[in-house]
Amino acid sequence: MTLSFTDAFRAFGAVLANPQWAYSSIASDGALVISCWSHKLKLANRVLTYTDRLSRWKLNSPGKNLLTQHLREAFDRKLDVRLVIATTDRPDVVDRGDEASTIKKSFHIKENVVGHVTLFDNDNFIIEFRQKPAVL
């Protein structure tokens, strides 16, 4: 189901500091909620991996700074990560680091996975998402 950007975060109990520039938020349960580009998600061996680098962002310093803070906290404290997926038919704009706020995109959530930041060197980061264990 396609959601608005803010509704996607709200589904995980998170409120964006500013929907115009924020990419991430800390949910009421303490998990990091992050918006990830669908074309940067790769599935292998039942692990959905998101790889990106902060230096790709040439614009939007407030969003980049908040994401940096959230990634550091999630990496250091081993926080769970919840996934909001952003999809666009213009991945070239995203990959160049150009202004993506003007391109058409849709958002949905992946409720059946939980992730962890497995690498963060203040630029490059990797988040690995795995299927949530079944609850009996």
Detail the DSSP E strand segments found in 5-63.
Answer: 24-26, 32-37, 41-44, 47-53
Q: Which tokens is 89 given? A: 């038919």
Q: What is the mean pLDDT of residues 11-23?
A: 94
Which pLDDT belongs to residue 68? Answer: 96
What pLDDT, in 10s, does the model give residues 31-76? 999 999 999 999 999 999 999 999 987 777 888 999 999 999 999 9
Q: What is the mean pLDDT of residues 115-122?
A: 98
Report the C-alpha gap between 53 and 68 in whole angstroms. Answer: 10
Q: What is the mean pLDDT of the chain?
A: 93
Which pLDDT belongs to residue 98? Answer: 77
The larger pLDDT score, comparing residue 102 to residue 74, is at 74
Compute, in degrees rounded to 10, the torsion defined by CA atoms 22, 37, 35, 20: 30
Task: Provide the percentage of residues in the chain whose pLDDT is more than 70.
Answer: 98
Which pLDDT belongs to residue 100? Answer: 81
Pair 91, 74: CB distance under 8 Å: no
Report the C-alpha gap between 115 and 25 in whole angstroms. Answer: 14
CA 122 remoteness from chain centre: 16
Whether the pLDDT of residue 81 is over 80: the answer is yes
Q: What is the mean pLDDT of residues 113-117?
A: 98
Whether the pLDDT of residue 99 is over 90: the answer is no
The larger pLDDT score, comparing residue 95 to residue 47, is at 47
Q: Which tokens is 40 given? A: 């940067």
SS3 59: coil
Q: How many other C-beta atoms can be found within 10 angstroms of the C-beta atom of residue 134?
A: 6
Distance between first and last Cα of the chain? 26
